[in-house]
Chains A and B, each alone.
Chain A
């Protein structure tokens, strides 16, 4: 008879070296303070007692036997649910530098078992692809030196804002001004926009910290940064505050939080910066939002008008829409009307080979205020891994072909294209952003970079951390558990927002000055771009350099 308690090795049994992150613990340094096991978000590590057997032979006394030694160390669990995610919070809190997770450089077999109970791997983060992105490889190589006046980023004055909203052609503008006709609303904003991350995907402290930083940028630093709410509504006090003008409200297929927005309209002190209509997202094109039940706290439920603790998937499409024409007309017109045609309205789509069709519809729609295209390298709080890694379209060529299409129609100065998806993926946020701007974008949206730079998000493209979807964010950025999100001080987030945008502002000037541009953003200035990749150069219609 086999004991019911005997050990067995099954198909899903994993060894220590099968795990993606391996905990290295130095027993000689450990003081057994318990901080690492206390902080670990995955309960991946524990205090292990191990026994060592030392056979002994005493020849003279003709005796033999074993001696035993018990020792302790921090070890990691080997089951999928508790596998280490490499967040390094243990290293962060260790007083003795005794513990750290190291990436398993060998193939790790959890890849084959992250589909427990028939559910494919879901996670937060973005496409797991390391190395320089195409944007990282673009160089700005039309330098003004003796051929035309050189500019000095530190000395000269720059105007680095961009336009959000539709610009009429001059004749039409004069005609309407003369006749008192409707002039479409525009905003002059900083071209790096904090992209849509919802109140819900983000913790209250993160979301409000970002807004506080945005307000600081505008009111103290004079940098007109705006941020987008994402699809999770906006707290009523914020809607009724003077900061609404720095906020792009997003409406998406789940319509979460819109009852509160509409309720607040009569009490709004100012108009929102813009309205973003989300049709698609670069990280998971063709898929809707996915706020998993772990994160639908009482507060989130209240703001979104849903029951507590339920999964909140948004459908892939707005359910009242049937065609491009209809969708563009109906949605844009309703929202433009809601704010008395004084707020720019623009759709957000995932980058796609069909993006040009959408753009051409917008060109013909007098109420459309722009188009935001989100590429495959965009981040998300929750998506199926396969959507994130394999579904979508890189942003660069998509924006480029859309821009060139506008140029062919002579409309490039009328309807702005915004780009997103992987801007700052490797930290080169300004370089990436300006590369896209010179390819034809009027501005860029940044999300993951903001989380990483202002709040210390630990995620990376080696699948470090990336547990935003289950609400256990060790930094408190994407958790709705107050025990976690109170780790994040909103003041410090806001301070970092200020620092980050001051720095982007300076870097923009450092890029623009050598190009001899100071008074207008170099939108579409592709003669300044080069890349040491012939195919990419041909596709983007920029110079091949080597």
Chain B
């Protein structure tokens, strides 16, 4: 078959457009496998042309862009001169030879085939090439040099850049080749500016395999471009270098950073500060090294503290005598019954009469057990001690104290002093001791048998001396001050308050009424009784009035009655009526006349609005305070008055419960004893434990239970006092808590109940300060302390 010639100019010498020209070439290729093209700038010459026997295309004259575009396998295109842009664009197999230079974009997106350039090429050669593994890699051979941005995103192309007559002999690969190159190989010979993309290409000498490939393929290239004479010049291995694509795996390693931070710190950072921490001058020895978030030991922000008995149980705290009921119950739990009784008697001479009978039991008003079911039954505990023996008294200190008044305040002062070895001399105006407890509290509320038992125990106590029927005046008082080391005033309130409304002369003061009621010849009462003042004393009066024959008792008050507890319940049970607000206008033979004019019929009217002290015997050195028209004694926390030898306790300070009087007596006695012993006086300062500190959900409510001291002991929550349950040891996730026996030799008897013979400790080396011990402890012993 002979060559078919296709001309780019028509018979009139005008350029044929690319569209028409391409159809001419295509028609030629159908009939001939050798085509000679005399082009005149037509584009896309050779596009998708193929012939079963192979196709040869020779191009003479100026080519347009994209010579050999989409070239097919078996097609050989030879351009006799220079070529324009994009030679071999999207070539998939054609062999294209350019016998001059080619401009930009040579081999762009080529996937297979070969392009041989006899000169140099422009910018962006061999970019975006592809390589399908089922086919050979595309090849670009350049005799001279490349322009800038060579082999960008090269994927499969193999380039051979020979550096003969390079356009720029200092840089045969142009500026920044290989950016984004992910595959392929670039052989080159000659100098470069080293600007190739280091992230994408790695410079190396040709391997043996690469060199053999180059040696093997060079002759064909040189033959194609008709420069066989260069064979020996070009095949000097030492002159060749290769840029290999960097694999993603290699690149990932490179991206771990040009320098590790540890290296940077050691080589640069530390050096910049003279070889040490930049804060070493400001904070010598400061350790800033990294730590974890769950540290132990000194890196914790809190640590547990076993605060056994550091705070007070509510029973102890709210009791005016601060009787540690919680400890008493522990002693009972531990079977130390005698010690439990002794402990109680160390606080009060009248536990059965007061704790067990008349006290409203502030301890149990606040008992934590109420949050589970019911409070502990402290009255049972108090009465149990009625027949118990007095603790031994201490040997005499050779001191003596005068106590004016033998009521509960004076009695406890004497009791405490006596047990500490101080002679206590009581001077009582009445013919018996006990104060109002004995004089006015009805026997219904305070059993005479119990009372007599406790009075007997009191009177039999060594160091206690009783003087009855003593009237106090200034002279006697001065004498007592001279004869005794201290004088304690405990005379209570025995002057009834009155209101001067018309007819007040016929009104009986409650104090007188109750005293008489308890005596052998009680006052007669009418069928209808009105009591002015509806407090607890008024309720006692009401009960006694019923006992003495009244049929209807009315308690009136100007405000909501203050009566509460057992007294009020007793009065109500007997049928007493409470009326308020009632303002008394006058009292007549008809009864009480209200300011509204209404008459409450009564044959007997009793007034119960309180009593005030009678302090006419006090010297000027003892100051008093006038409140509500009456003078009261002014004292400090130790019950000391303005006279350093005189103390005052009980109702003379301010009206209170019998228990308040007992507490005051104990405190005053402790103060005096501390002075005798030259010790610092320690008031009760413990804080009450909060309900939140306890974990009461460990306890199961019992709706029915027996009323015994053993049962109370079992039910006690042991607030603020370790019950040795080991639960902290159990919950601790780190196994940091252990129990340790303590060696205690100096305690015996009830005193062991005041402390513990063991302790729980937390190992700082293990503890992570989670606070579970504190959250778990039923008794509120473990606390978390910041440090």
Could you say which residues of chain B place their CB within 8 Å of the CB of A485?
288
Query: When chains A and B are docked, how far (Å) is the Cα of A220 from the Cα of B262?
Result: 13
A16 at the interface (CB under 8 A from B): no
A212 at the interface (CB under 8 A from B): yes
Could you say which residues of chain B place their CB within 8 Å of the CB of A243?
272
**Of A93, A154, A212, A483, which is within 8 A of B180 by CB?**
A154
Given A482-B287, A487-B291, does the pair A237, B772 have CB atoms closer than 8 Å? no
Query: When chains A and B are docked, how far (Å) is the Cα of A205 from the Cα of B776?
Result: 37
A174 at the interface (CB under 8 A from B): no
A5 touching B368, Cβ below 8 Å: yes
For window 203-252 of chain B, which residues contact chain A by CB distance below 8 Å? none
> For B257, B290, B318, B769, which residue has the most chain A Cβ atoms within 10 angstroms?
B290
B477-519 CB contact bits vs A (8 Å, 1 = yes)? Answer: 0000000000000000000000000000000000000000000
For window 726-779 of chain B, which residues contact chain A by CB distance below 8 Å? 731, 733-734, 768-772, 775-776
**Of B264, B314, B695, B770, which is within 8 A of A220 by CB?**
B264
A489-501 CB contact bits vs B (8 Å, 1 = yes)? Answer: 1111011001000
A235 at the interface (CB under 8 A from B): yes
Could you say which residues of chain A place their CB within 8 Å of the CB of B293?
39, 89, 92-93, 474, 487
Binds B, one of A121-129, A297-305, A420-428, A430-438: A297-305
Query: When chains A and B are docked, how far (Å) is the Cα of A220 from the Cα of B269?
Result: 12
A113 at the interface (CB under 8 A from B): no
Binds B, one of A43-51, A272-280, A408-416: A43-51
B60 at the interface (CB under 8 A from A): no
Query: When chains A and B are docked, how far (Å) is the Cα of A38 from the Cα of B272?
Result: 38
B769 touching A38, Cβ below 8 Å: yes
Given A220-B257, A236-B281, A299-B283, does the pair A489, B290 have CB atoms closer than 8 Å? yes
Query: When chains A and B are docked, how far (Å) is the Cα of A226 from the Cα of B282?
Result: 24
A219 at the interface (CB under 8 A from B): yes
Tell me the nearest residue of chain A to B370, going by C-beta: A3
Binds B, one of A29-37, A322-330, A523-531, A534-542: A29-37
Given A68-B701, A220-B259, A487-B292, does the pair A34, B272 have CB atoms closer than 8 Å? no
Query: When chains A and B are docked, how far (Å) is the Cα of A39 from the Cα of B360?
Result: 47
**Of A474, A481, A482, A491, which is within 8 A of B262 by CB?**
A491
> For B262, B701, B771, which residue has the most chain A Cβ atoms within 10 angstroms?
B771
B573 at the interface (CB under 8 A from A): no
Where chain A touches its partner, the secondary structure class is: helix
Query: When chains A and B are docked, how far (Å) is the Cα of A498 from the Cα of B258?
Result: 11
Give the size range of B's interface with the partner. 35 or more
B279 touching A483, Cβ below 8 Å: no
CB distance from A505 to the nearest CB of B (A): 14
B281 touching A237, Cβ below 8 Å: yes
For window 147-175 of chain B, which residues contact chain A by CB distance below 8 Å? 149, 152
**Of B697, B701, B733, which is within 8 A of A66 by CB?**
B701
B286 at the interface (CB under 8 A from A): yes
> For A35, A39, A303, which residue has the most chain B Cβ atoms within 10 angstroms?
A39
B366 at the interface (CB under 8 A from A): yes
B560 at the interface (CB under 8 A from A): no
B389 at the interface (CB under 8 A from A): no
Tell me the nearest residue of chain A to B152, going by C-beta: A155
A145 at the interface (CB under 8 A from B): no
B273 touching A70, Cβ below 8 Å: no
Tell me the nearest residue of chain B to A238, going by C-beta: B278
Could you say which residues of chain B place their CB within 8 Å of the CB of A93?
293-294
A486 touching B294, Cβ below 8 Å: no
B474 at the interface (CB under 8 A from A): no
B272 touching A486, Cβ below 8 Å: no
B256-289 CB contact bits vs A (8 Å, 1 = yes)? Answer: 0111011011001100111000111111001111
B731 touching A47, Cβ below 8 Å: yes
B299 touching A483, Cβ below 8 Å: yes
> For B293, B368, B731, which residue has the most chain A Cβ atoms within 10 angstroms?
B293
Could you say which residues of chain A place their CB within 8 Å of the CB of B701?
53, 66, 68
B300 at the interface (CB under 8 A from A): yes
Could you say which residues of chain B place their CB within 8 Å of the CB of A484?
301
A221 at the interface (CB under 8 A from B): yes
Could you say which residues of chain B place their CB within 8 Å of the CB of A481?
301
For window 279-313 of chain A, which residues contact chain B by CB distance below 8 Å? 298-299, 302-303
Query: When chains A and B are docked, how far (Å) is the Cα of A494 from the Cα of B268?
Result: 13
Tell me the nearest residue of chain A to B371, going by C-beta: A5
Could you say which residues of chain A place their CB within 8 Å of the CB of B268?
215, 219
**Of B257, B261, B279, B770, which is within 8 A of A299 by CB?**
B279
B775 touching A35, Cβ below 8 Å: no
Given A3-B365, A155-B180, does the pair A487, B290 have CB atoms closer than 8 Å? yes
> For B703, B734, B775, which residue has the most chain A Cβ atoms within 10 angstroms?
B775
Could you say which residues of chain B place their CB within 8 Å of the CB of A487?
290-293
For window 1-52 of chain A, which residues contact chain B by CB distance below 8 Å? 1, 3-5, 32-35, 37-39, 43, 46-51
B768 touching A302, Cβ below 8 Å: no
CB distance from B217 to the nearest CB of A (A): 30
B697 touching A51, Cβ below 8 Å: yes
A50 touching B697, Cβ below 8 Å: yes
Could you say which residues of chain A place their CB within 8 Å of the CB of B703?
66
Query: When chains A and B are docked, how far (Å) is the Cα of A219 from the Cα of B698?
Result: 63
B691 at the interface (CB under 8 A from A): yes
> For A49, A66, A219, A241, which residue has the most chain B Cβ atoms within 10 angstroms?
A49
Could you say which residues of chain B place their CB within 8 Å of the CB of A343?
none
Given A49-B697, A212-B269, does the pair A303, B282 have CB atoms closer than 8 Å? yes
Could you say which residues of chain B place their CB within 8 Å of the CB of A32?
731, 733, 772
Could you say which residues of chain B place their CB within 8 Å of the CB of A483?
291, 295, 299-301
**Of A4, A68, A236, which is within 8 A of B700 by CB?**
A68
A216 at the interface (CB under 8 A from B): yes
Could you say which residues of chain B place their CB within 8 Å of the CB of A48?
775
Could you say which residues of chain A place their CB within 8 Å of the CB of B618?
none
Could you say which residues of chain A place their CB within 8 Å of the CB of B180?
154-155
A488 at the interface (CB under 8 A from B): yes
Could you say which residues of chain A place their CB within 8 Å of the CB of B617?
none
A139 at the interface (CB under 8 A from B): no
Given A237-B273, A302-B282, does the pair A34, B734 have CB atoms closer than 8 Å? yes
For window 67-81 of chain A, which residues contact chain B by CB distance below 8 Å? 68, 70
Could you say which residues of chain A place their CB within 8 Å of the CB of B698?
49, 70
A204 at the interface (CB under 8 A from B): yes
Query: When chains A and B are docked, how far (Å) is the Cα of A489 from the Cα of B366?
Result: 52
Could you say which residues of chain B place their CB within 8 Å of the CB of A491?
261-262, 265
B614 at the interface (CB under 8 A from A): no
Could you say which residues of chain B place their CB within 8 Å of the CB of A495?
257, 261
Given A4-B318, A49-B776, does the pair A35, B269 have CB atoms closer than 8 Å? no
A299 touching B282, Cβ below 8 Å: yes
Could you say which residues of chain B place their CB within 8 Å of the CB of A236?
281-282
B279 touching A235, Cβ below 8 Å: yes
**Of A4, A39, A50, A70, which is within 8 A of B366 by CB?**
A4
For the complex of A and B, list the 9 residue pairs with the smallest distance between their C-beta atoms, beginning with the closest: A34-B770, A47-B775, A237-B278, A489-B290, A49-B697, A241-B272, A51-B697, A38-B770, A34-B733
Q: A486-B299, A487-B293 are in contact. List 14 more A-B contacts (CB 8 A).
A: A34-B733, A34-B770, A38-B771, A46-B775, A47-B731, A70-B698, A89-B293, A204-B286, A212-B261, A215-B264, A219-B264, A483-B299, A488-B290, A494-B265
Q: Which residues of A are at the interface with B, using a C-beta cutoff of 8 A? A: 1, 3-5, 32-35, 37-39, 43, 46-51, 53, 66, 68, 70, 89, 92-93, 154-155, 157, 204-205, 208, 212, 215-216, 219-221, 235-238, 241-243, 298-299, 302-303, 474, 481-492, 494-495, 498
13 residue pairs bridging A and B, Cβ less than 8 Å apart: A3-B365, A37-B770, A37-B772, A47-B772, A68-B700, A154-B180, A220-B257, A237-B274, A241-B272, A299-B282, A302-B282, A487-B292, A498-B257
Q: Which residues of B are at the interface with A, using a C-beta cutoff of 8 A? A: 149, 152, 176, 179-180, 257-259, 261-262, 264-265, 268-269, 272-274, 278-283, 286-295, 299-301, 314, 318, 360, 365-366, 368, 370, 564-565, 691, 695, 697-698, 700-701, 703, 731, 733-734, 768-772, 775-776
